Amino acid sequence: METVLDINEIKDYLPHRYPFLLVDRVVDIKPGESIVGYKNISINEPFFNGHFPDHPIFPGVLIVEAMAQVAGVLGFVTTGKKPADGYTYYLAGSDNVRFKRPVVPGDRLMLEANFVADKRGIWKFSCRALVDDKLACSADILTAERQL
């Protein structure tokens, strides 16, 4: 997999920072169409101390957030805007969320987002999160572009 955006470039497109930046690398992007990135799941993540101490599982809500973040990168790249220009994408909703398998330390969570529609600044994406080519989560994600 060839790197399209490394972590420093991703930080240009997302306002998130540690511990809430959940996209490590983007390996494919087609503006206005689709994006593929990933998050390496490390035991060093702070939430594993409590989720769960003897059986660490990456929280489902963070999988949804990671899919939303990669969708946000696609939105920014598509419009040619960045947070530094005074814009952001807010997570506006999620529909049809389904969790299919646990995500655990050592996994590489592949994140896919496909552009579906844009209506008055509300963008809809069809998203999937996979580990070893097996579906971990799927969701329809809505984001709202806002000028700060």
Tokens 């490394």 appear where? 6
Strands, E, within 32-133: which ranges?
Answer: 34-40, 87-99, 108-119, 122-131
CB 88 within 8 A of CB 73: no
CB 59 within 8 A of CB 51: yes
Residue 27 neighbours by CB under 8 Å, 6+ apart: 1, 2, 3, 4, 36, 37, 38
Q: Alpha helix locations (H) across 1-148? A: 7-13, 60-79
Indicate if 51 belongs to the active site: yes
Q: Which two tokens stand for residue 87?
A: 């814009």
Q: Which of 51, 81, 82, 101 is catalytic?
A: 51
Q: Which two tokens stand for residue 79?
A: 């419009």
| Residues with active-site annotation | 51
